[in-house]
């Protein structure tokens, strides 16, 4: 990029970007930074934002680690400041220097040198920045030295500023002065840039000033924050600017930090300086100690971007290196240099066509072949797009532009041109992401690794649209197993759209879910997840039990099962039983952090190793569904549920889990979301069951009571009851089933009066008076019909009602009529009756058909209010009976039994809950009882306050407690109902009705009276006033409040009363379904039978099949398949109903209208573009026709036909060209690029030498190139005897004999005799832009040898592997120390020697002779020039490639070769200090040097192998 001060004056100010080619020296020094993740950063930002603790940390950390630069020596400059003041060479005035810089010191008299006279000091400008008068948005800023390490800056941003590690780095570059863009293009650019940043979590890096492209980016962020509902700060925009060029920077100076610093944006008074852009979120202000010097920030920005792009982003199980992309708008010469650097270093660039200048020049020629990008074409484009400054371009600059643009266009895979409305492009965000994927495809990865890398990027960006359009295409066929690692990543990071995409592309959950996958998922739960904390609690409890264990036990699936059982209820069995260590199919994983790294161990290797695992789980879809539900992932759970088979049970189980979690969730919003999702799954269960019930009632009812092995051997009905899913239980189909159970084997249409008659006169059963559901019962013997009748729950219920009424009547008779000192036979009968009730309650308590255990059954038993009432009534009866049997306490015993009678009567309410009329009313009464308790609390306040005041005013020192209670509570309470005390107003005052001294126990104490004792002395007006106020509030306000509460409760409950009644109806039906048929006290016979069966015969209890039925496997599979089919119908109906909703229709219409508007706009742009293309095509055709006519006429004239016609003169003027130029153009057109490319790269490798730019057309020596003035460079070698002289003088070179074998050195070229000019040989392939021999050893040809050692790739069975029918080769390659590429084991040779030096390093010395023999027997596949970046005008590389192929895997020489490969020290190899060897598959994606890859392609062609 050109000097920035010059850019200001040339109206070409630009904001730059660059990537250094050299590896950052501080890479690898950030082990702590690699562990940073988004959740940690987010929690840190939430906890510490704007806190004093954070400010103190920054105030101490920043000055210690970040420095600024100050000039310490004032040297007067010849230039004056804008204000006419004397300034130093650094640009600052006397006043702006520190005190020591103005005083004489050791530097006195010396010239100003920034390396000596600018010192680093602790920075004094950092903190929060607020732009005065613009917005309240708070940004971050820091002033730092240009020499600050990238690791320190990155640590500041991620750890102290709290920024999440980005998934993408977008560097925006271009014109730094304001420029005009079309409104539509500007809108598209702004929308797309912010969209890609917001959706991918990217950082946008700009120059940070309020001008040019930086202003465009800032306004884009501003528009987003104004229009979006998202919180501010979602888009991270980092401005890297030069401190010395910022206007009003004094406001930012705060030695202890500005929290905040107020900055004023003053464009009018900025002069040659610039203001910061108010829409950026963070500013890095680079200081070199000077004032007014632009471009200081570029080297630091380059290093920082390079450093960030080499960091690893870990999120959701995916670990990728942070990709970087350069976005270019407009720009001048500096921007071209920026693009060139980016492309050279492999950074993809997106050029926005239509933005102007450099961007448009590149966009215009990007589609042309490199051979057509000529100096004249670039000159023409510059004259169009740089009209104002075109005259200032020199010939050298135009040549340099041509060369750079050729190199840029040559690497098309890194160049993306965004054209508005063309090539199907509509959004900049898509273009940016497509550019990154296109660049990824160009990288050297093998087959699926390349596509896998692209998929990692798409998942990291969370852009499923890009994955659909760019990755899942016909170009590559994905294997489901290849998608398993990314499926895991998508699940962990909660990306439901990717999960859906992977399922659409063949991922089968039954194959995907393994033991290890589940462990991976559960160990990567979010720490904020409630289930995670419950798991940790289980692990901690186990650690306490295992006192000998030193570490917390590792998470296993049985720990998960324990927590799930708490949530699903103890009626379910453990979903994941504790495995036995002998048969557990367990794979050791590096938990808890799972990485999908581009380099190193990946989850893919996990799935490759675990393919042989036995899937331990019954239902993998269930396991994934549970995992999604416990994290409250709504969309993810919906997608997985749609894949489930046992879908009704799954939906009800999800509802249960969510409702249980919501009870413990402390966050109100999360709790509400869980309840909403639970309600959604309940509706799904209802929807599927409705479809089933409509299709087949009997099979639908089978689904209700089918034992689900997958859900802990429970049933759908049990799950619904456990979850209290009243809507589901109140469904008509379920109520019909419950009614069917209630009537047993009787027909439902039997009238109740028939049942009662048969109960009273059972011989009627032998007639046809009662009808049965099964016709066989009508024909069977009478005993079977009697058994079926009396086993029906409805009959058992009414028999128990009759029995209970008889018990109450007998109990009342004994209490009121026959309560003798000694119990009568009636009373003994009551004791027997009660004993039968106790036995029945005991049976209910111990009845455990599901094997839940006594504690659980006791818990369930006492959770029912009516059971508590039963136990209370029985215990009270026992207490009364005990008192009754003791003569001294006979009367208290009768009182207790009388109270107990009330409790037994209340038990009738439970009996009547079965009634459709009374049942709902009983529910309403229960709810109103709660209101009464709240009302009594309010009433007690008024009653006590009035009672105490009244008692204190009327009565003096009442000491009798019972009369105090009567006066304070009892009388006050009765006053509400109209029983007003007669003496309270003094009218009916009578001393005869009271006791003056309170000695009469049957009379209250007299109120305060006068000295005569006949007239009241208390203030009647006060007591009357208190009474009126009391009655006003108590009678009118509180009683009406109670009525209003009752009314509200009634209205609220009335809507759901039917559901509640239907839900509670099940409990009564289940109770009498499992109850013995005989009523008390005859039920004792049934209990005796049960006792014999359980204790004597050891027959376990079993639940009746009618409520819990275990089906045969075939029947169950058919039933589940049927349910699955109807679930699909339900989902289709839901989708159709969703589309038919008015809101959705309006949204669809709106989208269609927007699409039509976009298409119309695009059509207009396309038509104008099409016209331009047609004109250009027509112009090209006319040109070609003219050339053809000129050739025809010239040929005819040379053949003697006619003479030169005047009409042909114009054609000759138009199309005649010099022969040399014509031959050059033909050569370029025929050969494509045609010339060496790597040998003309501007930056010479391993040296800071820039070549002279040589465009394609100037490569041949025959082409005239008058301005060609390449620099001279020759590297000095350690061993001068093995190299030619430096060549800076002609005398030593005169002794060299070219084009012959000069001693041991062969200086002949494979391309024939080369030209020697002024004692220097000329490269036969043309100019390179550099004279001398560079880093090569010899002038002229430097001969190398490249042995290509290959063998067939074989499978485990020994067969040759094939790809696309062709056989596959493996090649022996080596990796040089500290190199990213592999290479063939060849290279330069010592003079007179056959084996290359590199090959000798990997072969043991005793094998050298044998390998030389193999080389002589090998096949020569190439001999000639090598396009190497080390080539110069006077020295170049030529090579001979020899193929050595081992046909047989048992070849003796192959085995000897492998045995004689050098063994290396693993520690040295790990540190990159030794050369390593490896057999790699021959493929076009093999990561070899380009030259070696071309040789390998020839070898593959030789054997007809895959490449």
CA distance 1276 to 1046: 102
Q: Which residues pair with 1425 in a beta bridge?
A: 1438
State how far the alpha carbon of 131 is from the alpha carbons of 51, 155, 218, 283, 622, in Å: 20, 25, 13, 13, 54
Where does 1074-1231 have alpha helices with state H?
A: 1083-1091, 1113-1140, 1142-1198, 1206-1215, 1219-1231
173 annotated binding-site participant: yes
Contacts of 584 (CB under 8 A, 6+ apart): 515, 616
Residue 360: other Cβ atoms inside 10 A: 21
3-class DSSP assignment, residue 1467:
helix
CA distance 653 to 360: 61
* Backbone torsions φ then ψ of 353, nearest 5 degrees: -70, 140
CA distance 1275 to 1338: 11
Q: Return the H-helix or E-strand segment holding 151.
A: helix 150-155
Nearest to 660 by CA among 725, 729, 566, 574: 566
3-class DSSP assignment, residue 551:
coil
1430 annotated binding-site participant: yes
Sign of CA dihedral 347, 146, 152, 173: negative
Query: Are the C-beta atoms of 773 and 753 separated by less than 8 Å?
Result: no
* Region class of 6: left (phi > 0), else alpha (psi between -120 and 50), else beta: alpha
1342 annotated binding-site participant: no
CA distance 517 to 488: 8
1047 annotated binding-site participant: no
What's the chain's length in residues?
Answer: 1507
What does 1038-1099 look like in DSSP terms, one character per residue? IHHHHHHHHHHHHHHHHHHHHHHHHHHHHHHHHHHHSS-SSPTTTHHHHHHHHHIIIIIS-P
The three-point CA angle 904-905-910 to 5° equals 90
Query: Are the C-beta atoms of 919 and 1061 separated by less than 8 Å?
Result: yes
Q: For residue 1279, what are its two tokens?
A: 């061993």
State how far the alpha carbon of 1058 is from the alpha carbons of 627, 924, 1067, in Å: 35, 11, 15
Query: Are the C-beta atoms of 1407 and 1456 separated by less than 8 Å?
Result: yes
Query: Are the C-beta atoms of 675 and 661 separated by less than 8 Å?
Result: no
Sign of CA dihedral 972, 974, 975, 979: negative
Q: Return the H-helix or E-strand segment holding 504.
A: helix 496-504
841 annotated binding-site participant: yes
1251 annotated binding-site participant: no
Nearest to 980 by CA among 1023, 1033, 1039: 1023
Residue linked to tokens 């000694």: 822
178 annotated binding-site participant: yes
Residue linked to tokens 């200001």: 8
Query: Are the C-beta atoms of 262 and 132 separated by less than 8 Å?
Result: yes
The three-point CA angle 1395-1396-1402 to 5° equals 90
State how far the alpha carbon of 895 is from the alpha carbons of 829, 830, 883, in Å: 20, 17, 10
CA distance 1413 to 1418: 9
332 annotated binding-site participant: yes
Q: For residue 716, what are its two tokens?
A: 């759908």
1428 annotated binding-site participant: yes
Q: For residue 20, what are its two tokens?
A: 């250094």
CA distance 720 to 38: 39
- Residue 230 DSSP symbol: S
1379 annotated binding-site participant: yes
301 annotated binding-site participant: yes
1303 annotated binding-site participant: no
Which residue positions form the known binding site?
Answer: 173, 178, 301, 332, 335, 841, 844, 867, 1071, 1379, 1428, 1430, 1489, 1491
Binding site for ADP-D-ribose, by residue number, is 173, 178, 301, 332, 335, 1379, 1428, 1430, 1489, 1491
Bind-site residues for Ca(2+): 841, 844, 867, 1071
């Amino acid at each position: 990029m050109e000097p920035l001060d010059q850019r200001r004056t040339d109206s070409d100010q630009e904001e730059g970007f660059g990537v250094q080619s050299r590896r950052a020296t501080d890479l690898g020094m950030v082990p702590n930074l690699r562990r940073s993740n988004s959740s940690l950063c987010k929690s840190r930002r939430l906890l510490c934002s704007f806190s004093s603790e954070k400010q103190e940390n920054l105030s101490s950390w920043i000055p210690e680690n970040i420095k600024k630069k100050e000039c310490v020596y004032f040297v007067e400059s010849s230039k004056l400041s804008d204000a006419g003041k004397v300034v130093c060479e650094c640009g600052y005035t006397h006043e702006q220097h520190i005190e020591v810089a103005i005083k004489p010191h050791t530097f006195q008299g010396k010239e100003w040198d920034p390396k000596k006279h600018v010192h680093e000091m602790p920075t004094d400008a950092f903190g929060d920045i607020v732009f005065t008068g613009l917005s309240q948005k708070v940004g971050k800023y820091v002033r730092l030295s240009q020499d600050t390490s990238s690791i320190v800056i990155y640590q500041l941003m991620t750890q102290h500023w709290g920024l999440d590690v980005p998934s993408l780095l977008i560097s925006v570059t271009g014109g730094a002065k304001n420029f005009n863009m079309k409104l539509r293009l500007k809108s598209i650019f702004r929308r797309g840039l912010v969209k890609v940043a917001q959706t991918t979590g990217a950082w946008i890096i700009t120059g940070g000033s309020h001008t040019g492209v930086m202003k465009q980016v800032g306004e884009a962020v501003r528009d987003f924050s104004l229009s979006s509902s998202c919180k501010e700060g979602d888009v991270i925009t980092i401005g890297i600017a030069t401190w010395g060029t910022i206007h009003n920077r004094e406001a930012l100076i705060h030695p202890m930090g500005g929290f905040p610093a107020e900055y004023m944006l003053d464009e009018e008074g900025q002069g040659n300086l610039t203001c910061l852009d108010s829409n950026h979120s963070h500013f890095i202000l680079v200081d070199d100690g000077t004032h007014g010097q632009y471009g200081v920030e570029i080297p630091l920005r380059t290093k920082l971007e390079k450093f960030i792009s080499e960091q690893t982003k870990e999120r959701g199980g995916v670990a990728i290196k942070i990709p970087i992309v350069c976005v270019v708008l407009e720009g001048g010469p500096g921007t071209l240099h920026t693009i060139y650097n980016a492309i050279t270093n492999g950074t993809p660039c997106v050029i926005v066509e239509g933005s102007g200048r450099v961007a448009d020049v590149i966009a215009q020629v990007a589609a042309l072949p490199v051979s057509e990008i000529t100096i004249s074409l670039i000159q023409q484009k510059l004259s169009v797009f740089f009209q104002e400054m075109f005259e200032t371009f020199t010939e050298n600059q135009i040549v340099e532009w041509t060369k750079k643009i050729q190199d840029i266009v040559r690497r098309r895979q890194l160049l993306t041109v965004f054209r508005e409305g063309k090539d199907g492009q509509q959004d900049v965000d898509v273009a940016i992401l497509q550019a990154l994927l296109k660049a990824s495809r160009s990288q050297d990865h093998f087959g699926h690794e390349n596509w896998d890398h692209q998929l990692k990027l798409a998942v990291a960006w969370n852009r499923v649209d890009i994955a659909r359009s760019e990755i899942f295409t016909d170009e590559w066929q994905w294997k489901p197993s290849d998608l398993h690692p990314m499926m895991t990543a998508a699940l962990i990071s909660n990306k439901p759209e990717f999960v859906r995409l992977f399922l659409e592309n063949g991922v089968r959950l039954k194959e995907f879910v393994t033991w290890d996958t589940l462990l991976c998922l559960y160990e990567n739960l979010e720490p904020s997840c409630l289930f995670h904390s419950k798991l940790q609690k289980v692990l901690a409890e186990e650690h306490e039990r295992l006192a000998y264990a030193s570490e917390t036990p590792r998470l296993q699936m049985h720990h998960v099962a324990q927590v799930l059982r708490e949530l699903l209820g103890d009626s379910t069995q453990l979903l994941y039983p504790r495995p036995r260590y002998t048969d557990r199919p367990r794979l050791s994983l590096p938990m808890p952090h799972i990485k999908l790294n581009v380099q190193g161990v990946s989850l893919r290797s996990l799935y490759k190793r675990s393919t042989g695992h036995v899937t331990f789980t019954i239902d993998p879809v269930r396991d994934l569904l549970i995992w999604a539900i416990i994290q409250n992932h709504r969309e993810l759970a919906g997608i997985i549920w749609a894949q489930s088979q046992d879908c009704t049970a799954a939906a009800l189980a999800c509802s249960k889990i969510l409702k249980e979690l919501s009870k413990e969730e402390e966050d109100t919003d999360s709790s509400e979301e869980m309840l909403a999702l639970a309600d959604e799954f309940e509706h799904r269960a209802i929807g599927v069951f409705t479809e089933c019930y409509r299709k087949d009632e009997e099979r639908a009812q089978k689904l209700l009571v089918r034992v689900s092995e997958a859900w802990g051997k429970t049933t759908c009905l049990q799950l619904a009851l456990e979850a209290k899913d009243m809507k589901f239980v109140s469904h008509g189909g379920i109520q019909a089933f419950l009614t069917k159970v209630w009537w047993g084997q009787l027909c439902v249409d039997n009238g109740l009066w028939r049942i009662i008659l048969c109960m009273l006169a059972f011989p009627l059963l032998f007639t046809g008076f009662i009808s049965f559901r099964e016709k066989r019962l009508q024909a069977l013997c009478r005993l079977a019909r009697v058994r079926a009748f009396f086993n029906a729950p409805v009959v058992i219920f009414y028999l128990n009602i009759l029995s209970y009424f008889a018990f109450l009547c007998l109990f009342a008779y004994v209490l009121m009529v026959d309560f003798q000192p000694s119990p009568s036979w009636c009373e003994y009968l009551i004791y027997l009756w009660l004993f039968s009730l106790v036995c029945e309650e005991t049976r209910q308590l111990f009845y455990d058909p599901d094997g839940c255990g006594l504690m659980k059954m006791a818990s369930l038993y006492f959770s029912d209010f009516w059971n508590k009432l039963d136990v209370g009534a029985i215990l009270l009866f026992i207490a009364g009976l005990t008192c009754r049997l003791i003569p001294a306490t006979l009367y208290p015993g009768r009182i207790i039994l009388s109270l107990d009678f009330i409790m037994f009567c209340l038990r009738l309410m439970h009996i009547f809950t079965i009634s459709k009329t009374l049942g709902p009313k009983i529910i309403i009464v229960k709810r109103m009882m709660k209101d009464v308790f709240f009302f009594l609390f309010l009433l007690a306040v008024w009653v006590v306050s009035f009672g105490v005041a009244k008692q204190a005013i009327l009565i003096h020192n009442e000491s009798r407690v019972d009369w105090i209670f009567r006066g304070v509570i009892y009388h006050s309470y009765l006053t509400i109902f109209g029983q007003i005390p007669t003496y309270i107003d003094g009218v009916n005052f009578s001393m005869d009705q009271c006791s003056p001294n309170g000695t009469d126990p049957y009379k209250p104490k007299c109120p305060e009276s006068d000295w005569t004792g006949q007239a009241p002395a208390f203030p009647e007006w006060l007591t009357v006033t208190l009474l009126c106020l009391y009655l006003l509030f108590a009678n009118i306000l509180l009683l009406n409040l109670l009525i209003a509460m009752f009314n509200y409760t009634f209205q609220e409950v009335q809507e759901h009363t039917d559901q509640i009644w239907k839900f509670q109806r099940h409990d009564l039906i289940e109770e009498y379904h499992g109850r013995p048929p005989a009523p008390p006290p005859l039920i004792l016979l049934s209990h005796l039978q049960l006792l014999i069966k359980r204790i004597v015969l050891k027959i376990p209890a079993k639940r009746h099949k009618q409520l819990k039925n275990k089906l045969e496997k075939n029947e169950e599979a058919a039933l589940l398949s049927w349910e699955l089919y109807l679930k699909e119908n339900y989902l289709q109906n839901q989708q159709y109903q969703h589309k038919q909703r008015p809101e959705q229709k309006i949204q669809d219409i709106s989208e269609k209208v927007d699409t039509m508007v976009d298409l119309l706009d695009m059509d207009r742009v396309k038509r104008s573009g099409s016209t331009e293309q047609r004109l250009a095509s027509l112009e090209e055709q006319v040109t070609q026709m003219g050339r053809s006519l000129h050739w025809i006429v010239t040929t005819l004239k040379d053949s003697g036909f006619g003479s030169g016609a005047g009409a042909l003169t114009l054609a000759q003027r138009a199309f005649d060209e010099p022969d040399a130029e014509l031959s050059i153009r033909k050569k370029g057109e025929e050969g494509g690029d045609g010339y060496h490319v790597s040998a003309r790269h501007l930056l010479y490798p391993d040296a800071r030498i820039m070549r002279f730019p040589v465009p394609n057309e100037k490569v041949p020596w025959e082409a005239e190139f008058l301005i060609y003035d390449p620099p001279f460079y020759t590297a000095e070698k350690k061993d001068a005897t093995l190299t030619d002289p430096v060549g800076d003088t002609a005398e030593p070179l005169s002794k060299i004999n070219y084009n012959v074998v000069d001693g041991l050195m062969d200086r002949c070229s494979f391309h024939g005799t080369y030209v020697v000019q002024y004692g220097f040989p000329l490269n036969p392939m043309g100019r390179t832009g550099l004279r001398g021999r560079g880093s090569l050893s010899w002038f002229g040809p430097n001969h190398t040898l490249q042995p290509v050692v290959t063998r067939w790739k074989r499978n485990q069975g020994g067969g040759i592997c094939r790809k696309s029918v062709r056989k596959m080769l493996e090649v022996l390659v080596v990796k040089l120390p500290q190199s990213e590429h592999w290479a063939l084991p060849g290279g330069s040779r010592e003079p007179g020697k056959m084996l290359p030096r590199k090959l000798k390093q990997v072969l043991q010395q005793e094998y050298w002779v044998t390998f030389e023999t193999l080389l002589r027997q090998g096949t020569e596949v190439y001999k000639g020039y090598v396009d190497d970046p080390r080539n110069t005008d006077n020295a170049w590389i030529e090579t001979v490639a020899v193929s050595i192929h081992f046909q047989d895997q048992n070849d003796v020489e192959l085995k000897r070769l492998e045995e004689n490969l050098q063994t290396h020290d693993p520690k040295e190899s790990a540190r990159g200090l030794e050369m390593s060897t490896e057999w790699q598959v021959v493929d076009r994606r093999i990561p070899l040097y380009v030259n070696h890859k071309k040789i390998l392609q020839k070898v593959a062609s030789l054997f007809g192998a895959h490449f």
